[in-house]
Amino acid sequence: MELRHLRYFVAVADEQSFTRAAERLHISQPPLSRQIQDLEEELGTALFERGSRPLKLTEAGRFFYGHATRLLEQAAQATRATRRVARMERRLVIGFVASTMYGAMPRLVRLFRAERPQTELSLVEMSTLDQLEALKTGRIDVGFGRLRLRDPALRREVLREERLVAAIPIEHALAIPEQPIILAALANEEILVYPKTPRPSYADQVLSLFRDQGLEPAAVHEVQEIQTALGLVAAGMGICVVPTGVSRLRPDEVVYRPLSDPQAVSPIVMSTRLHDQNEDLALLRALIDRVYAEQGYRRAADAGQPL
């Protein structure tokens, strides 16, 4: 099996037609059909339902399509990376969830740029789940998320446990600035959680805090973005549990009260490919310790340990 077999198969699956796929690939249809037949013979199964119009994948074909597209993306990424190395280019792509941008991330980025001006640094906002897939396909080099998910292809490290606070509408009876509050006091309130998709996500962390104490909010409203959630809090539509770093947003419309429950924390998790020896990543990791020391953050008890 060669990469061209995968490209031909994906083209036919995408176009749902041998004729259109041949046009897309700039080859004639008979050689394309033979290549697909050779692929099916090697796999020992049919990949397409030949009598269907438009052409449909079999169950085995749908399974193979997912793997084929990932392999093609990995091959393309390897090609791009090799070309960058050949041109002596350096680039580091960071995936992050939005809430980490309100903590140490800006300082970390500034320090890295000062230390490594020759490395192009790119930041891409994405969920933790999307980060894990992006790492494996080479679209990002490091991810900062909030979910403790295991993956044998990745190294995952808890950097710190961030305390959580309740974001409360400024005119709400519970809006007592800076005063700690227990989660049980929010049990009869309408709770806003984010993101709505993909799941599991930070939303599930928050809902688990309530469930673990046998608490039930009056209502749960799911939104996609943290900014949307805080906008709804400001409008008096509910209360939202957010990481401490977020508490600088909307200070004139939202009151933030620290949650005193010991379990009311959210991890910041750094994810990289398992055996990636990129020296830029090593510098980034060293700068994280420096930033946390400057800002007085305590490392998580299990920091430095793979998840």
pLDDT band at 144 (very low <50, low <70, confident <90, very high): very high
Task: For residue 80, give the H/E element and its range.
Answer: helix 59-86
Class of residue 64 by CB neighbours under 10 A (exposed 0-12, middle 13-18, buried 19+): buried
Task: Report the alpha-carbon distance of residue 225 to residue 10 in Å, rounded.
Answer: 34
Question: Residue 183 has what pLDDT?
Answer: 97
Question: Residue 172 has what pLDDT?
Answer: 97
**CB 24, CB 15: distance < 8 Å:** yes
Residue 126 one-letter amino acid = M
Question: Residue 305 has what pLDDT?
Answer: 37
pLDDT band at 293 (very low <50, low <70, confident <90, very high): confident
DSSP-H helix ranges across 87-141: 105-115, 128-137
Q: What domains can be seen in the chain, in order of their start residue?
A: 3-86 (1.10.10.10), 91-159+268-294 (3.40.190.10), 161-265 (3.40.190.10)
Pairing label, strands 48-49, 56-57: antiparallel
pLDDT tens readout for residues 151-207: 998 999 999 999 999 999 999 999 999 899 999 999 999 999 999 998 899 999 999
Class of residue 238 by CB neighbours under 10 A (exposed 0-12, middle 13-18, buried 19+): buried
Q: Which is more confident, 83 or 136?
A: 136
pLDDT tens readout for residues 89-128: 678 999 999 998 888 889 999 999 999 998 989 999 999 9
- Extract long-range pairs of 197-201: CB within 8 Å, 24+ residues apart: 197/224, 198/127, 198/129, 198/130, 200/129, 200/147, 200/149, 201/127, 201/128, 201/129, 201/147
- Please, what's the largest Cα pairwise distance for the chain? 74
Question: Residue 122 has what pLDDT?
Answer: 93
Mean pLDDT of 132-153: 92
Nearest to 112 by CA among 292, 283, 278: 283
> How many CA atoms lie less than 13 Å away from 277 in the CB half-sphere?
0
Report the predicted TM-score, pTM, of the whole model to 2 decimal places.
Answer: 0.68
Provide the token pair at 209. 């805090």
